[in-house]
Copies of this chain bind each other. A is one copy, B any other.
Amino acid sequence: MEPADLGLGDSSLHRYLDGEFWSLKNELRGLLGGCPLFRPRYDLSLDEMRTLTFQRVTFTMGLPLLKRAIQDQVEKTRNFVSRSLVIGEVLSMADMATGVKCGIIYWLFGGAIRSLGGPAHVTQWLQPLQEQKYTGMFAMTERGHGSNVRVIQTEATFDFSAQEFVIDTPCKNAEKMYIGNAMYGNYAAVFAQLIINGRSQGPHCFIVPVRDENGSLYPGVTVVDMMHKEGLHGVDNGILRFDSVRIPRENLLDKFGSVGPDGQYHSPIKDKSARFNAMLAALTPSRLAVTFQAMGSMKLGLTIAIRYSHSRRQFGPKAREEVKIIEHQTQTLRLMPHLATALALTFASRYAGTLLDEDIFRGKELVDSRPLQALVAGLKAYSTWENVSCLQDCRECTGGMGYMMENQISGLKCDTDVFVTFEGDNVVMLQVVVRELLAQYTKQCEERPVSSLLRNWVESGSDRLRTSFLAFNMDTVGHLTFLLKAVHFRERILQRGLVARIYYKVMTEKEDFFSAWNSCLHHITCLSLAHIHRVTLEQFCLAVRNCPDQEDQDLLKQRLAPKRYLLHLCNSVKDDALRVISAFNISHASLHAPIAGFANPNAAWVLYPAPQHSLAGERARSPRPKLGAKL
């Protein structure tokens, strides 16, 4: 479809928000927008929905643009991560279940092969994904172990004489659970304890055939359908059980641990636990993909809620003079901060993507980029929680209309709710962040104990001055630099407090580490969120400073509101909000909520007028409070 028909734009702001790969995004929007398969359906049974999703996935993975993306992953072409991330974002906005299923195939199955396998595996298993000869799944979680996957119980026992691994599910708790694409997929990347001569080398990943091309299960494999979920009805999740399933020795993805024909185990990493960490780290990009999907969902929800709020009228100074609901202070106050967060996350997650690309391009193992892993873990938790709360507010702010499926918001809510859980439970992710922060802290102190302590002291000294009551006048508080310092300060205070508490508990009180850590969990989650807020804010500030167009910059700058001005600012930005959401550049094919002013043939009953939003109106800005922000 033509960009114009889909309502796509390419103004400077559109391009800045879409980022470097804006034209790739537009291309995909055009391709999906023209495909009738993506028309929304709410009337299908579970089976029908899965069949439709299968067709959508097949169509999508068949696009040359997607084949190219797989080839890029094969070749580790420069920036392939960032490009795949934006593809995932656009796709999720067309249909979340399709986005998730493609993610399973591309990021989880494909990503496991690329990052845990050797070149031969890539040629054998990843490359052919382009031709859709088969599809894959990713089988890590077990009934007994979701967050704590280190102790999964599936076994891969090496049979020397046959030169094969025997995959087994020794007990009920070892069943692979929730596995996406379990009802369709042909191969699974299965994590199992690698056992040689009765001794486990820890979890490794194996390619296990599950179904032949006709869809018949191979002997020894059992699959149970997990059926109905809150959302993502198009994604088929199931349970996998293995009963002496034999696979060739070569099916071990052996980058971090291999078994020779002689049955000897080799690994570049001696420590079992460190080895598994390296594997998990290599899977980091797929975690960031969830953040991009969550952002897509926030942008969609906000676009619908803000457009409706600019057209729906209710109450007013006189009975017949009702105001647009966006004029009610609470309405603005509920929606504008989410819009700011969506923008901030756009830049922070893009930044993380760039870092990942750099590392991978330079051949650096991700396990050696611990701060980056922590960043991605933190962004995953922050963005998916923000998405839940954003969509909830969008739902509520659109009144009864928001509860109707045709208006998209509640469907999105159900589909994305699980984001806080899968790809790493958020509470566990926050602990990953803090573990890294503490490691950094300890390292700093060890390397240059005196100077670093001194620096910390000096820094906190100056912070204290600025936050003292004396310095607390409006101008200073209004400064963005002050805000940045404040979030920095909060993070440091929390960090130092935590270190002191854990140190005291472990060293002085002789508590075991597990219980000391556990009794600080609340502190830990606060620190973790403080950290990720700070990083996100910094990236947002940088992005605003680097924005090439002055007018766009002004528009973005307003979203950087210190809390003090919140009421005032929310009010002043609400009109410009229409311009910002339009620069999200969402294809009209993905926006079919009648309340946002888009005709939906399935729900003619509910069409609302589009918000009045002429270009002239767009430019006529409302007066802004002087922020005096120094960027």
Q: What is the distance, in angstroms, from A581's C-beta to the closest C-beta of chain B? A: 22
> In the assembled complex, which residues on chain B have CB atoms less than 8 Å from the CB atom of A151?
319-320, 322
- Check A395 against B411 for contact (C-beta < 8 Å): no
- Check A403 against B230 for contact (C-beta < 8 Å): yes
A228–B41 alpha-carbon span in the complex (Å): 10
Q: Work out how many copies of this chain go into the complex.
A: 2
Interface core residue of A320, A330, A331 (most chain B CB under 10 Å) = A330
Residues in A418-470 with C-beta less than 8 Å from chain B: 418, 420-422, 425-427
Q: A400's contact among B177, B322, B525, by CB below 8 Å, is which?
A: B177
Given contacts A230-B414, A400-B422, 14 further A-B contacts (CB under 8 A): A43-B45, A145-B314, A147-B315, A147-B399, A148-B314, A151-B319, A230-B403, A328-B521, A330-B521, A331-B427, A396-B421, A403-B418, A403-B421, A522-B567
Q: Mark A118-158, 1 if CB is under 8 A from B, else 0.
A: 00000000000000000000000100011110110000000
Q: A404's contact among B228, B320, B512, by CB below 8 Å, is which?
A: B228
CB nearest neighbor in B for A320: B151
**Does A24 lie at the interface of the complex (its beta carbon under 8 Å from any beta carbon of B)?**
no
**Does A502 lie at the interface of the complex (its beta carbon under 8 Å from any beta carbon of B)?**
no
Q: Mark A388-405, 1 if CB is under 8 A from B, else 0.
A: 100010011001101111
Q: What is the distance, in angstroms, from A292's C-beta to the closest C-beta of chain B? A: 21
A317–B229 alpha-carbon span in the complex (Å): 33
Interface core residue of A46, A177, A605 (most chain B CB under 10 Å) = A605
Q: What is the distance, in angstroms, from A313's C-beta to the closest C-beta of chain B? A: 8
Q: Could you pull out 14 A-B pairs where Cβ atoms are within 8 angstroms?
A: A43-B46, A146-B314, A151-B320, A177-B400, A224-B605, A227-B404, A229-B403, A317-B514, A328-B521, A330-B427, A403-B417, A410-B417, A414-B414, A522-B567
> In the assembled complex, which residues on chain B have CB atoms less than 8 Å from the CB atom of A519?
329
Q: Mark A3-16, 1 if CB is under 8 A from B, else 0.
A: 00000000000000
- Check A400 against B178 for contact (C-beta < 8 Å): yes
* Closest 10 A/B residue pairs (Cβ): A230-B410, A329-B521, A228-B405, A317-B514, A42-B228, A403-B418, A330-B521, A148-B315, A148-B314, A151-B319
A392–B385 alpha-carbon span in the complex (Å): 11
A405–B226 alpha-carbon span in the complex (Å): 10
Band of interface residues on A: 35 or more
**Does A413 lie at the interface of the complex (its beta carbon under 8 Å from any beta carbon of B)?**
yes
**Does A327 lie at the interface of the complex (its beta carbon under 8 Å from any beta carbon of B)?**
yes
**Does A628 lie at the interface of the complex (its beta carbon under 8 Å from any beta carbon of B)?**
no
Q: Mark A29-54, 1 if CB is under 8 A from B, else 0.
A: 00000000000001101100000000
Q: A43's contact among B43, B150, B228, B410, by CB below 8 Å, is which?
A: B228
**Does A493 lie at the interface of the complex (its beta carbon under 8 Å from any beta carbon of B)?**
no
CB nearest neighbor in B for A602: B227
> In the assembled complex, which residues on chain B have CB atoms less than 8 Å from the CB atom of A418?
400, 403
**Does A406 lie at the interface of the complex (its beta carbon under 8 Å from any beta carbon of B)?**
yes
- Check A518 against B414 for contact (C-beta < 8 Å): no
**Does A333 lie at the interface of the complex (its beta carbon under 8 Å from any beta carbon of B)?**
yes
**Does A497 lie at the interface of the complex (its beta carbon under 8 Å from any beta carbon of B)?**
no
> In the assembled complex, which residues on chain B have CB atoms less than 8 Å from the CB atom of A58?
none
Q: What is the distance, in angstroms, from A235's C-beta to the closest C-beta of chain B? A: 11
A interface, CB within 8 angstroms of B: 42-43, 45-46, 141, 145-148, 150-151, 177-178, 224, 226-230, 239, 314-317, 319-320, 322, 327-331, 333, 388, 392, 395-396, 399-400, 402-406, 410-411, 413-414, 417-418, 420-422, 425-427, 512, 514-515, 518-522, 525, 567, 603, 605-606
A315–B431 alpha-carbon span in the complex (Å): 13
Q: What is the distance, in angstroms, from A72's C-beta to the closest C-beta of chain B? A: 31
Q: A317's contact among B228, B403, B405, B512, by CB below 8 Å, is which?
A: B512
CB nearest neighbor in B for A413: B230
A464–B456 alpha-carbon span in the complex (Å): 37
A420–B402 alpha-carbon span in the complex (Å): 12
- Check A399 against B414 for contact (C-beta < 8 Å): no
A388–B605 alpha-carbon span in the complex (Å): 28
Q: What is the distance, in angstroms, from A386's C-beta to the closest C-beta of chain B? A: 13
Q: A396's contact among B320, B327, B420, B605, by CB below 8 Å, is which?
A: B420
Q: What is the distance, in angstroms, from A153's C-beta to the closest C-beta of chain B? A: 11
> In the assembled complex, which residues on chain B have CB atoms less than 8 Å from the CB atom of A605?
224, 226, 239
A519–B330 alpha-carbon span in the complex (Å): 9
A302–B150 alpha-carbon span in the complex (Å): 29
Q: A319's contact among B43, B150, B410, by CB below 8 Å, is which?
A: B150
- Check A399 against B319 for contact (C-beta < 8 Å): no
A320–B396 alpha-carbon span in the complex (Å): 45
Interface core residue of A178, A403, A514, A515 (most chain B CB under 10 Å) = A403
A330–B141 alpha-carbon span in the complex (Å): 22
> In the assembled complex, which residues on chain B have CB atoms less than 8 Å from the CB atom of A314?
145-148
> In the assembled complex, which residues on chain B have CB atoms less than 8 Å from the CB atom of A603?
227
Whether A45 contacts B42 in the complex (CB less than 8 A), given A314-B148, A329-B521, A567-B522, comes out as no
A229–B319 alpha-carbon span in the complex (Å): 31
> In the assembled complex, which residues on chain B have CB atoms less than 8 Å from the CB atom of A411?
230
CB nearest neighbor in B for A232: B403
Q: A228's contact among B406, B425, B525, by CB below 8 Å, is which?
A: B406
CB nearest neighbor in B for A571: B519
- Check B425 against A399 for contact (C-beta < 8 Å): yes
> In the assembled complex, which residues on chain B have CB atoms less than 8 Å from the CB atom of A45?
43, 45
Whether A330 contacts B422 in the complex (CB less than 8 A), given A314-B147, A317-B514, A404-B226, comes out as no
A146–B325 alpha-carbon span in the complex (Å): 12
- Check B567 against A396 for contact (C-beta < 8 Å): no
A315–B46 alpha-carbon span in the complex (Å): 35
> In the assembled complex, which residues on chain B have CB atoms less than 8 Å from the CB atom of A330?
427, 521-522, 525
> In the assembled complex, which residues on chain B have CB atoms less than 8 Å from the CB atom of A403?
229-230, 417-418, 421
CB nearest neighbor in B for A389: B392
- Check B42 against A227 for contact (C-beta < 8 Å): yes
Whether A329 contacts B413 in the complex (CB less than 8 A), given A400-B177, A400-B421, A403-B229, comes out as no
